Chains A and B, each alone.
Chain A
Amino acid sequence: MAWTRQEMANRAAQELQDGYYVNLGIGIPTLVANYIPDGVDVTLQSENGMLGMGPFPYEDEADPDLINAGKQTITELNRTSYFSSADSFSMIRGGHIDLSILGAMQVSQEGDLANWMIPGKMVKGMGGAMDLVAGVKKVVVIMDHNARDGSAKFLKKCTLPLTGVKVVDMIISDVGVFVIEENGPILIELAPEITINDVKERTEADFLVDKGLL
Chain B
Amino acid sequence: MNKLYTDAEAALEGILFDGMTIMAGGFGLCGIPENLIAALKKSGIKDITAISNNAGVDDFGLGLLLQTRQIKKMISSYVGENKEFERQYLAKELDLEFNPQGTLAERIRAGGAGIPGFYTKTGVGTLIAEGKEHKDFNGETYIMETGLKADVSLVKAWKGDTEGNLIYRKTARNFNPMMATAGTITVAEVEEIVEPGELDADNIHTPGIFVQRLIKSHGLEKRIEQLTTRPRQEG
Is the Cβ of B77 less than 8 Å from the Cβ of A125? Answer: yes
Q: Given contacts A64-B224, A65-B171, is CB(A58)–CB(B79) below 8 Å?
A: no
Give the residues in chain A near B89, CB-CB below 8 Å.
Answer: 122
Residue on B nearest A95 in the bound complex, by CB: B121
Asked whether any CB of chain A lies closer than 8 Å to the CB of B144, the reply is no
**Contact between A131 and B171 (Cβ–Cβ < 8 Å)?**
no
B128 contacts A130, C-beta separation under 8 Å: yes
Question: What is the total number of residues of chain B having a CB less than 8 Å from a CB of chain A?
Answer: 58
* Pairwise interchain contact B169-A84, C-beta atoms closer than 8 A: no
**Once the chains bind, are B225 and A71 in contact (CB under 8 Å)?**
yes
Q: Which residues of A contact B (CB under 8 A)?
A: 46-50, 55-59, 62-74, 76, 82-86, 88-89, 92-93, 112, 117, 122-131, 134-135, 161-165
Residues 77-96 of B at the A interface (beta carbon under 8 Å): 77-81, 86, 89-90
> Other CB < 8 Å A-B pairs besides A66-B170, A82-B171, 18 of them?
A47-B101, A48-B27, A49-B173, A57-B229, A62-B224, A64-B30, A67-B224, A73-B224, A73-B226, A84-B176, A122-B86, A124-B78, A125-B76, A127-B100, A130-B122, A131-B100, A135-B102, A165-B126
A134 CA to B173 CA in the complex, in Å?
24
Task: With both chains docked as a complex, state the minimum distance between the C-beta of A113 and any C-beta of chain B, in angstroms.
Answer: 10
Known: A48-B171, A93-B120. A67 touches B126 (CB 8 A): no
Q: Are A71 and B98 in contact (CB under 8 A)?
A: no
**Beta-carbon contact of A50 and B90 below 8 Å:** no
* Contact between chains at B229 and A62 (CB < 8 Å): yes
